[in-house]
Each structure stands twice: as structure tokens, then as C-alpha cells.
Amino acid sequence: MSSSEIEIVSDSISPNNNTNQQQQQKIVITDVFTASVYGDLQKLRKFVEEDGASLSSPDTNGYYALQWSSLNNFPHIVQYIIEHGGDVNATDLSQQTALHWAAVRGSIGVADLLLQNGGRVEAADANGYRAVHVAAQYGQTAFLNHIIAKYNADFDAPDNDGRSPLHWAAYKGFADTIRLLLFRDADQSRQDKEGCTPLHWAVLRGYVEACSILVHAGTKQELTVKDKAGFTPVQLAYDKGHRHVALLLSNIQRAHTKRLKGTFWAGKVIGVGYAPFLFCTIFCLMVLFVISVLLAPSLAKVTAAVALWGWTAVSLCAGALIMFYRCSSKDPGYIKRYDGSGDLREAQDPLLNLDMNSSSVWTGNWSQLCPTCKIIRPLRSKHCPTCKHCIEQFDHHCPWISNCVGKRNKWDFFVFVCLGMATSSISGVISVLSIITGIWTAVPAIPTSEAWMHHVIAHHPGVIVFLVMDFLIFVSATTLAVSQASQIARNITTNELANTSRYTYLRGPDGQFRNPYNHGCRKNCGDFLIQGYTNDDEIAWPPLQAVTR
């Protein structure tokens, strides 16, 4: 594979408005071109109005003053040039217009001036690159979205090699640009002249996040597409030595293949999850505890105190099963998506409005775009590839309850694991005490520990089985309960803890971790216990509005 991209002459100084005075004094402005490069309107006026310089002629390299001012994002210079004879559609030797140059650095204000004064949004250069291609090559996501939404730019247009903006965004690894293009329904199955899809190009460069977005938003058919060299994306990843990408794609392809085969474990377990198995296990253990411990004739007669605690454990177990059913069957916080019927503006959920400029949940963070559900989701939401929905305040997907844990069922999940921890601990202690009491009552003088263990296994196998399973449940439930309690106290989710480096709203101005939703242990716990969730509208400090990866 080979690739070429647009080359914009930008090796000269590209000043901004914060350039200090000492640097400005060293700049020598000799003509309209250098005046346009550095945004000096006063000098530009002198050259044009007093010296009679032309703004419609190129410099010795074939570049126009309008291109230089567009590249360096000087709308006032652009406006002046247009008003004094500058041609918005003038092309240099590579047939690039000022709009191409504006796209390099994402100059949205300049783009508006150019397009509102007759600029052609679909103008193509010698390579067939349009402004959408250039914006994708340089990762200018906001610029790309602006010309698509406002000027109907063709975001699927191919260049001379058959590559769309999505190909270029994948090749350069710009995850946010990929999200935007997929959100706008860009065709990710398109093959260029070399037979490569956008996934091939992302694999070629070894971009794990780009590959993950493309695969999860796609139909999985892209995994089997071969380029002209005969490589599928998986084979290409192995060939180029990108192990992490190869592992990601192999696992997804393997899971998809298993679903297609329809085997028991693939079809039933993957489709339904482990919830039925866990439910039956808990119920069977409860029955085994009653039969083998509370009502066992071979053990010592249960005292009133033991019976009270024993039946308390049974009651807690029944409560745990009820909460298990609730958190398994309850909506975890699905964010509704537009189903294609009716008027988009009349949809019930405000998130279905695709106009990001008027969305109340849009914070300027491109990770809020879900390319699969085609919605703008709240900051703390995430798309679950298993449930195939975006979940509000997504915590994690739990295969043991066959459901996600999110805003609307996290309280049920936390109560479930707490009841599981309490039940397993109480029933375990009662079982051990019953065995010890029963043995010393029945056989007061067992000589050795080996004989003691042999007697327990031979006469109380049901209790041993129960204790082994109960111990596993106790360890699991306790670990979950402690971790969930810690997260609730800090008002942070499992997903956020695992991806703190990716979410810029979890970093302060100094770049260090700082949770804007943490109001202190007392308020966090109080809100969760009373409401079942915390209100994301109440933040302790404003999160950064930067774009996450």
C-alpha cells in the first residue's frame, strides 16, 4: 500500500493573535502576500490602496494572498481581499483553492466567508481532494462537521484514488473524525483502487481505537473484505506486526463466527448471558442450605438462635433473588434512538436531534457521538456492543446478570451484591458452626485432623459442597460490593476508572485526574441511596470542553 496526501505550503511562520511584540518587530512585511501571512491589515491596505498592488495575482510560487490568509485564519484579511478583487475560487499550481488551505487548520470563520461569497465547497484539486478530504487528513473535525451541516458538503466523495474522507481519517488515526463521519452515515465498506476499506487503512497504521470504532459501528462484513493483494484486515494486521490490532479483530471475528454457527454456548450463552445459570445456582444453594444444614437430621438439633439466623439468611437470599431479577430485567438507562419513522424533530427524546448546534447535551466533546445509535449522548454514557444500546451513566456490562449496569439499575445491582455478601457470610458461618457442633456431639473423640475431615466428607457431603460454592459467592459478592461502594462514594463509574486517560472531562486544568461529579462522600452516597443515581447536571467544577480521543 502507498498513500499520498495534500501538501499545503505552510513552512513559513504561521502567527497567531498572541505573538509577542518582539517577534512582530522582527517580521519584515514587503508585499500583500507577507501582509496576508501575518494578518497585518494596515500594511495590506497600504499596498493595495496606495501602491496599487493586485490581490488577484499569485506570487512567484503560484500562491494567492487569499490562500495565505485562509491558511492562517485571518477572517478580516479574507474579507478585505474578497472586497478588493480576490477570487475565492482561484487555484494554485496544484489546483487548490483558498478553501483547501482553510481546511488544513480548520478555519471555520474563513470557510464561511469563502462559501458565502461564491466559493465552491466541492472544488477538487489535482488529486481529487475536496475540502472534506483535507479536513479529514488533518483531523479538523469541527471544520468538517461545519461544512457538512451548513453547506451540504459530500462527506462520501471519492478522490482520484477512490478514497473517501473516512479512508483518510482512518489512515491518519483521527478517532473523532471517524466518529463524526460514521455518525453522518459515511460508507465504511467502500473500497478504493487498491481494494482497501477504511478498516484496512486503520489496520495498516496500527491504530487500535480507530479499528475498534470502525468494527463496532460496522456490519462485521468489513472483516472479511480482501484488498487487491488478497489480505483481509486481520491478515494485514498480522503481516504488519500490529499485535494489539490483530488480537482485537480476531476476537471480534471469532465471536461473530460463533454467533453464526448457533451452537449452544455461542447462541444461548452469548445471546442470553449467564443470568439463568447464576439464578439457578443461587436458588439451588438456598435449597441445599435448608436441607443440609437447617433441616439435616445428622447434625445437632438447631437451637432457636441458630434457626433465627439461618432463616434470616434464607430470607436475605430470597431478597437477593428478587433484586437479581430486577437488575437483570430492568432498563439500565437506554438512550432512545431515532427509528426512522416520523419527523425527527417530533421524536420523544431530545438527544435524537442531529443538529449539534442546538442540542442541550452537546458539550463539544466528539466522544459524545455514537456512530452506531446515531445520537448525541450525555458525557458519561457509553455504547455497549453487547446490548447494542447507549447506556446513560454506563458502569459496566455484567454477563452474570445479562444486562448492563447503568443509571436506572445501579441501585438494584448494588443492593443485590450487598444481599449476596450478607447471605453468603451468614449461611457460611452457620454451616461451619453446625458441622463443628454436630461432630463433637456425635463423635466426641476423633483422634486426628485427617479423621475429622474424612468424617465430615463422608457424613456431610452436602454441607461441604455448599461451603465451597458459598465461599466463591462470598468472595465475588464482597469484591463487587466494596468496589461499587467505593465508586458510589466518589461518584465515578467502573468505565470511567478504566478509561481516565481517554476522558478529558476527568482531568483538571493541570492535566491531573479530577472528577467534576464528586461532591463529597456524604452527598454522593445520599443522592445515590435516595434517588438511585446522581444528577449529572450538578457538577463540582466545570469540566474541560476539549475533545476526547
Active site residues: 398
Question: With contact defined as beta carbons under 8 Å apart, do 363 and 379 qualify?
Answer: yes
Please state, in angstroms and rounded to a whole number, the distance separating the CA atoms of residues 248 and 141. 26
Please state, in angstroms and rounded to a whole number, the distance separating the CA atoms of residues 525 and 259. 41
Please state, in angstroms and rounded to a whole number, the distance separating the CA atoms of residues 85 and 239. 54
Which uninterrupted H or E stretch holds 403? strand 403-405
Residue 294 is given by DSSP the state I
Beta bridge partners of 389: 384
Residue 157 is given by DSSP the state -
Q: Which amino acid is it at 88?
A: V
Select from 525, 514, 515, 519 the least CA-distant residue to 538. Answer: 519
Residues in contact with 175: Cβ distance below 8 Å, sequence separation at least 6, in sequence order: 207, 209, 210, 213, 549
Select from 473, 489, 492 the least CA-distant residue to 396. Answer: 492
Please state, in angstroms and rounded to a whole number, the distance separating the CA atoms of residues 549 and 536. 21
Residue 506 is given by DSSP the state G
Residue that the C-alpha cell 513559513 belongs to:
12
Please state, in angstroms and rounded to a whole number, the distance separating the CA atoms of residues 93 and 126. 9
> Which cell numbers in the block locate residue 530?
435516595
Residue 536 is given by DSSP the state T
Please state, in angstroms and rounded to a whole number, the distance separating the CA atoms of residues 345 and 292. 62
Could you tell me the sign of the dihedral formed by the alpha carbons of 331, 335, 339, 341, in that order?
positive
Indicate the SS3 state at residue 389.
strand
Could you tell me the sign of the dihedral formed by the alpha carbons of 146, 149, 150, 152, in that order?
positive
Select from 87, 66, 88 the least CA-distant residue to 78. Answer: 66
Select from 473, 515, 455 the least CA-distant residue to 284. Answer: 473
Indicate the SS3 state at residue 203.
helix
Please state, in angstroms and rounded to a whole number, the distance separating the CA atoms of residues 334 and 406. 9
